[in-house]
Chains A and B, each alone.
Chain A
Amino acid sequence: MGEVTVPIGPQHPALKEPESFDITLEGERVVRMVAKMGYNHRGIEKACEQRTYIQCLYLIERICGICSHSHSTAFVQCVEEVAGLQVPKRAVYIRTLIGELERIHSHLLWLGVAGHEIGFDTLLMYTWRDRETVLDLLAMLTGNRVNYGINTIGGVRRDVTAEQVAEIRKGVALLEERTKYYQQVAIEEATLAKRLGGVGSLSHEDAVRLGAIGPTGRASQVDRDVRRDDPYAAYGEMSFQVVTDTHCDVYGRTLVRVGELIESCKIIRQVLDNLPQGPITVRAPRRIPVGEAVIRYEAPRGEDVHYLRGNGTDKPERMKVRAPTLANVQAVAKMLEGNYLADVPLVIAAIDPCFSCTDRMIVARDAGGRKTGVMDWKSLRDYSVDWYKKNRGLDCSRIKLRA
């Protein structure tokens, strides 16, 4: 049978972001895949060279809508190392806390997407409902569901109160209970094991050779996690397991992520138990001295690498960012070989390529368009309940969002 090349992307319903894949098929089977990346290149590294460090921080937070805290933490750690700042302990604990909440939100999102890709939309509905819990916690702590803006050079911008700690404990207990249920589903539910098993296989040797990282690598027994190997923030003082798996396929990647959810809950509880007292920020200079630093950060998808070179001014000389998806693209090409064309979206989604995630609007205008005001979460919810009652005839007021 002759080979046929099917172009997928840059715009395609199966892709959440523009990327282009030329997939060569023999019958229904993939022979090879060639990726063309760069459609989302926004020149952020160049833009950083023309902005002050504080402006860069906000720009870098917007590299990704899901792992925004990962990028901003990696960046501030670079700046702090070059400037020689000693960040207060309470601040690094808060960074760790937000980082793990972010991992929970990202992994639950992925679990839902994976469910959706295999037509198991019940899983999508369940996980995304539970994800609201963690997004609410993040909104309570930082004021935002994504792009938290909690980091600043020399510390964090918002403190955590005792009431918030109690709320987080409640939320995390619920999330842990739900995650244990998903773990049970993943192990016992035949749909998942049958549909995900053997799809997108990546042997341990290939994973090491091609440099697969994050849950993608760990599902192929690559025992690699920067939180343990190259600890930053408060991870040096936390005890947790690096979850690995031997399945080497999409099923293994699912088990790794579910396992990591449990570990994240453990880390969050340790952070809350040991949260030190004290200031949350130190004064940072506007001009950052000459010097360079490189930081690795374990984002939900794998390690982020940030390199910064300062030149004594208030703008960086060079800022370099490597996001985990870039390191996993070659592994995807390998995983697809021999798979069915119909599995392509699932295999690509299984490395959890970075999707854009929009923020929620909380500034409302009145009918005249003049008056603006900020709605809090409760009034926004009441507003949506009202809206559905009036416009759709649905009474959502009895739906409980948090158990």
Chain B
Amino acid sequence: MSNEEEIQQQLIRQFPATEGKFRIQRARRIWVEVPADMLLQFIQYAKDELKFIEFCIITGLDEGENLGVLYHVAQSYTGIMLNIKISVPKTNPVVPTITHLFPAADLPEREIEDLFGAKVDGLAPGRRYPLPDNWPQDEHPLLKDWKPKATAASTEAQNG
């Protein structure tokens, strides 16, 4: 059994609800979908017991009704990446913070707040990222239904 499969088996034993939600796409890439309320325990276990100590990034996904959030973490030396996906309804897009486990998640969490309108529960107060301070609070550019507004400058750039 490969390392990837062993990791999968161990995670299924610990979290039976994730059975059938795994996908090993190729060597060193494990993808899994977990229920949103299980995320913290899942990441904590992966970090403490399976040594997924490298935090890579958080990716937000606009999936119509739902907001998908992908957490990419990796093991040192083996290079195995665990890509953990949760889904929350856009009507109540609350995800927990993982900054207590990975301090480097601070900016990526602010990013999904700004660009996808997620609410990160437990994130310490701080300046927004990456949009400017005067950007409207209810506009989230990476949502599929957001279109840039024509401004005087953009019209001039297009039409001369």
Q: Does A294 contact B (CB under 8 A)?
A: yes
Interface residues on B, range: 35 or more
Query: Are A296 and B74 in touch, CB under 8 angstroms?
Result: yes
Known: A229-B78, A305-B72. A293 touches B25 (CB 8 A): yes
B131 interface neighbour in A41, A230, A330, Cβ under 8 Å: A41
Known: A230-B28, A305-B72, A307-B70. A296 touches B107 (CB 8 A): no
Known: A326-B107, A330-B106. A224 touches B141 (CB 8 A): no
Query: Are B104 and A327 in touch, CB under 8 angstroms?
Result: yes
Query: Are A226 and B61 in touch, CB under 8 angstroms?
Result: no
A296 to B28, CA, bound (A): 11
Nearest CB of chain A from residue B102's CB, rounded to whole Å = 7
A327 to B129, CA, bound (A): 14
Query: Are A81 and B56 in touch, CB under 8 angstroms?
Result: no
Known: A229-B76, A307-B57. A294 touches B103 (CB 8 A): no
B61's closest neighbor in chain A, by CB? Answer: A318
Chain A: interface secondary structure? mixed
**Central interface residue in B26, B55, B61, B131, by most chain A CB within 10 Å:** B61
Q: Does A346 contact B (CB under 8 A)?
A: no
CB neighbours (8 Å) of A292 from chain B are: 31
Number of interface residues of A (CB under 8 A): 35
Query: Are A38 and B25 in touch, CB under 8 angstroms?
Result: no
A230 interface neighbour in B53, B81, B128, Cβ under 8 Å: B81
A49 to B28, CA, bound (A): 27
Query: Are A226 and B72 in touch, CB under 8 angstroms?
Result: no
Query: Are B61 and A309 in touch, CB under 8 angstroms?
Result: yes
Query: Are B132 and A38 in touch, CB under 8 angstroms?
Result: yes
B129 interface neighbour in A38, A231, A330, Cβ under 8 Å: A38
A305 to B72, CA, bound (A): 9
Q: Does A173 contact B (CB under 8 A)?
A: no
Query: Are A307 and B72 in touch, CB under 8 angstroms?
Result: yes
CB neighbours (8 Å) of A43 from chain B are: 141, 148
Query: Are A38 and B26 in touch, CB under 8 angstroms?
Result: no
Query: Are B130 and A41 in touch, CB under 8 angstroms?
Result: yes
A-B contact pairs, 21 of them (CB 8 A): A34-B127, A36-B127, A38-B131, A41-B130, A210-B103, A224-B76, A229-B76, A230-B28, A293-B25, A296-B74, A296-B79, A307-B57, A307-B72, A318-B59, A318-B62, A320-B57, A322-B57, A322-B108, A327-B104, A330-B104, A330-B106
Which residues of B does A touch, CB under 8 Å?
25-26, 28-29, 31, 53-57, 59-62, 70, 72, 74, 76-79, 81, 83, 102-104, 106-108, 115, 126-132, 141-142, 144, 148
